[in-house]
């Protein structure tokens, strides 16, 4: 969404105090909307039937004025909670020192995802929704939140990749299912805790690259890529997790703006995935007005009518409120089109208990004492520790007991607000790496040396002097929101400024040198990987309020790292090989392939990379099957009920043996490769994963990888998925540490029929 809060607030109004309708003594008392025995849709329709046409039009935008004569309060549909309750037009933090002056600040999604711990994600989301409800009870936030961002991180230059769970659609899908489960208080519960919003639907991952702006970009995507890569996270969010709302994106898909696209918003979202009328679609902010930029609508009244009729129920902006009246006068739509949109919105508020007595609502009892509890603080720390990835280690980590004097150097060494990334709230505290080292009783010095994107070398001498006096050097740098951000893509994926020059001079000293690489998008570490004097590299993403403590606990060996990269770290030359605007995934004459599945080059660090302070060996259970009949799998899936793509293929039991001397968590990644089905063939595809906790030295644990039919299926040109007979290999770990071969017998069988796009015929 729009990046400037000044613009946002001018557009929508500043965050305001919320209130609830009075169903006891107010004008709505004794009406159907206050009848708790009626269905949410029935109650919402009864409310909407009382609106005048002018009131209908006025309440189609995110900053709904309500209807004062009915005692219906104003309501802002736009609150944020990407990794904690966040500043936004719908959220108001109190001044420092007062109640509700902060909320727990968890790591950015890209780092939380690297933990590959779905139960942790659910627990974090449960805390976020608890704090969101507490803020709402204090009249400081809404009940619905424009989170999460689940567009796969397709291109390393994308400025908003840090907001996502990574590049793999299976990983993103499982992350979002767990997140929605925690945010909404279960999977489709009768009473929603909050209403989450999955964004940006669909094919959105360009901000502004070489003049190609998100507001007018047309993403040309094949049905094969749409169904197998761009949309699986949304299917998991909508069909499986039953999310309360969806945000349509700025861009067009195959010539039609997403917020005007009935194929996306009706055929796929509502007809195919079952997004019902208790759920609503919001535009990204001003996306309806951007129909003009797409040259899709001749004027704003036509744009407003097109958006409502296509299924965009809420306009984040002012286009609907300012132009639907004119559209009605021109007979571009019917009043019933607006009534349908508002019914969906208010049915959602009914499910949130908005019209019900506080005494009967358990979430209405949450208060300031439920914000940033000990449990929340521990989870924020745990998420950072579990997600941090060790990319390189020559044995210097963990630091030896004799290593006492540390020189912290670099623009992230004393980072505080930097550690939150974007879409952040006010944190209760922010512990930098340097501060954490001091707390851990290291003799630590601090020298900036250089900035994130500076070519000023005047600080080098002080940094070198500090390094000479230390037992070990900790360089903390990388990128931050000044390099990658909403509305700001990258042109290169190299380390910015003169950071590599400084690291090179520090390495030449011959001291133990640990590089802490921060930021959501990867930078090319090839020079550091090949430099024998760079002892270790840790990637820390945006680690949140306790990020510094997590980093130092890993450096000192208090915790062994076990995170895994959720994106490919490409060589710097990758950006010269394919334009961001090429949405295709498979390799071609003009595209080396995207993500670990299709990239034909050699990555600097591949997806799934992650070292430990110990060693592990893996073995697939001897009882694992080596042959499966496709027709038997289909029959079993049909008997189990539910979508066939979610039916169980098999659960692979993997013995995880710690063959080293340090207790550690371990993430088991399971990939499958095959030449069955339509070509070209991916190098491998993630089909399952599991994080086993605290495996002691010399001990063994068992990881269970539950693999679905959908994970094994291949997708054809029309977007439909089928099981194909042939030879398959299960590959465990990165690099591969164990394999298991099996075959599928029988005949090809379709498990998902993808709906055709009528506009493409």
Q: Is residue 284 among the annotated active site residues?
A: yes
Q: Which of 547, 550, 541, 602 is nearest to 573 (CA)?
A: 602
Q: Are 169 and 710 in contact (CB under 8 A)?
A: no
Q: Give the relative orientation of helices 319-329 and 300-310 as an angle to the nearest 10 degrees.
A: 100
Whole-angstrom Cα distance, residue 151 to residue 200?
6
Annotated catalytic residue, options 118, 205, 225, 284:
284
Q: Which residues make beta-bridge pairs with 740?
A: 730
Q: Left, alpha or beta for 421 (phi > 0: left; psi -120 to 50: alpha)?
A: left
Task: Name the strand (E) or helix (H) holding 345.
Answer: helix 335-351
Whole-angstrom Cα distance, residue 759 to residue 695?
54
Contacts of 80 (CB under 8 A, 6+ apart): 86, 87, 88, 90, 91, 145, 146, 147, 423
Q: Which of 402, 393, 397, 279 is nearest to 340 (CA)?
A: 279
Scanning the structure block, which residue is given the tokens 């040396």?
Answer: 449
SS3 content of the chain, % helix, strand, coil (to 5): 30, 20, 50
Q: Are 481 and 417 in contact (CB under 8 A)?
A: no
Q: Are 543 and 550 in contact (CB under 8 A)?
A: yes
Could you tell me the two tokens for 30? 């004794």
Q: Are 265 and 248 in contact (CB under 8 A)?
A: yes
Specify the DSSP class assigned to residue 219.
E
Half-sphere exposure of 372 (CA within 13 A, CB side): 17
Q: Which of 382, 420, 385, 422 is nearest to 161 (CA)?
A: 422
Catalytic residues, by residue number, are 284
């Amino acid at each position: 969404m729009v990046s400037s809060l000044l613009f946002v607030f001018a557009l929508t109004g500043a965050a305001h105090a919320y209130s609830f309708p009075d169903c006891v003594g107010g004008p709505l008392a004794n009406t159907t909307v206050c009848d708790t025995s009626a269905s949410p849709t029935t109650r919402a329709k009864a409310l909407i039937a009382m609106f005048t046409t002018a009131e209908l039009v006025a309440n189609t935008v995110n900053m709904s004025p309500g209807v004062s004569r009915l005692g219906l309060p104003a309501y802002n549909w736009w609150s944020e909670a990407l990794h904690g309750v966040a500043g936004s037009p719908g959220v108001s933090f109190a001044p420092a020192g007062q109640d509700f002056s902060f909320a727990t600040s968890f790591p950015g999604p890209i780092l939380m995802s690297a933990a590959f711990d779905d139960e942790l994600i659910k627990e974090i989301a449960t805390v976020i929704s608890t704090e969101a409800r507490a803020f709402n009870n204090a009249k400081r936030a809404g009940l619905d939140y424009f989170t999460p961002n689940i567009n796969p991180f397709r291109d390393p230059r994308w400025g908003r990749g840090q907001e996502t769970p990574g590049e793999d659609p299976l990983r993103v899908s499982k992350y979002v299912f767990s997140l929605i489960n925690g945010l909404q208080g279960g999977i489709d519960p009768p009473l929603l805790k909050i209403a989450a919003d999955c964004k940006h639907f669909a094919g959105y991952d360009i901000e502004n690259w070489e003049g190609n702006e998100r507001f007018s970009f047309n993403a040309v995507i094949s049905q094969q890529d749409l169904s197998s890569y761009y949309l699986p996270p949304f299917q998991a969010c909508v069909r499986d997790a039953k999310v309360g709302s969806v945000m349509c994106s700025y861009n067009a898909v195959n010539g039609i703006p997403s917020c005007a696209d009935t194929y996306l918003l009706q055929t796929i979202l509502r007809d195919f995935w079952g997004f019902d009328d208790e759920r609503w679609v919001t535009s990204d902010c001003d996306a309806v007005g951007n129909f003009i930029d797409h040259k899709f609508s001749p004027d704003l009244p036509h744009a407003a009518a097109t958006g409502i009729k296509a299924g965009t129920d809420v306009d984040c902006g002012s286009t609907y409120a300012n132009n639907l009246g004119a559209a009605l006068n021109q007979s571009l739509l019917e009043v019933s089109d607006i009534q349908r949109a508002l019914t969906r919105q208010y049915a959602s508020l009914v499910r949130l208990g908005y019209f019900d007595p506080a005494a009967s609502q358990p979430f209405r009892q949450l208060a300031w004492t439920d914000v940033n509890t000990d449990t929340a603080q521990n989870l924020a720390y745990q998420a950072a520790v579990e997600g941090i990835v060790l990319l390189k280690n020559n044995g210097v980590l963990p630091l030896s007991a004799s290593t006492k004097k540390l020189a912290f150097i670099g623009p992230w060494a004393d980072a505080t607000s930097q550690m939150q990334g974007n879409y952040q709230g006010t944190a209760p505290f922010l512990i930098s790496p340097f501060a954490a080292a001091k707390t851990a009783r290291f003799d630590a010095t601090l020298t900036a040396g250089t900035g994130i994107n500076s070519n000023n070398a005047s600080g080098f001498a002080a940094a070198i002097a500090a390094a000479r006096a230390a037992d070990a050097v900790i360089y903390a740098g990388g990128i931050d929101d000044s390099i990658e951000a909403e509305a700001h893509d990258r042109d290169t994926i190299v380390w910015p400024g003169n950071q590599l020059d400084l690291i090179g001079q520090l390495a030449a000293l011959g001291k133990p040198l640990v590089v802490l690489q921060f930021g959501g998008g990867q930078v090319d570490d090839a020079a550091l990987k090949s430099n024998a004097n760079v002892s270790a590299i840790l990637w820390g993403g945006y680690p949140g309020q306790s990020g510094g403590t997590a980093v130092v606990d890993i450096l000192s060996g208090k915790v062994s790292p076990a995170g895994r990269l959720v994106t490919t770290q490409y060589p710097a030359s990758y950006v010269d090989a394919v334009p961001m605007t090429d949405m295709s995934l498979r390799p071609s004459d003009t595209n080396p392939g995207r993500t670990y599945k299709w990239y034909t080059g050699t990555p600097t660090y591949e997806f799934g990379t992650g070292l430990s302070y110990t060693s592990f060996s893996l073995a697939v259970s001897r009882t694992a099957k080596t042959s499966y009949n496709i027709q038997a799998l289909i029959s079993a899936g049909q008997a189990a009920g539910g979508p066939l793509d979610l039916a169980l293929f098999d659960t692979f039991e993997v013995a995880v043996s710690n063959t080293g001397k340090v207790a550690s968590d371990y993430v088991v990644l399971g990939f499958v490769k095959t030449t069955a089905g339509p070509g070209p063939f991916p190098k491998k595809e993630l089909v399952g994963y599991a994080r086993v906790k605290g495996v002691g030295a010399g001990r063994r644990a068992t990881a269970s990888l539950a693999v679905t039919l959908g994970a094994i299926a291949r997708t054809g040109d029309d977007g439909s998925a089928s099981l194909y007979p042939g030879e398959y290999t299960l590959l465990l770990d990165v690099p591969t540490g164990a394999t298991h071969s099996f075959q599928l017998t029988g005949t090809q069988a379709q498990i998902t029929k993808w709906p055709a796009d009528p506009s493409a015929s």
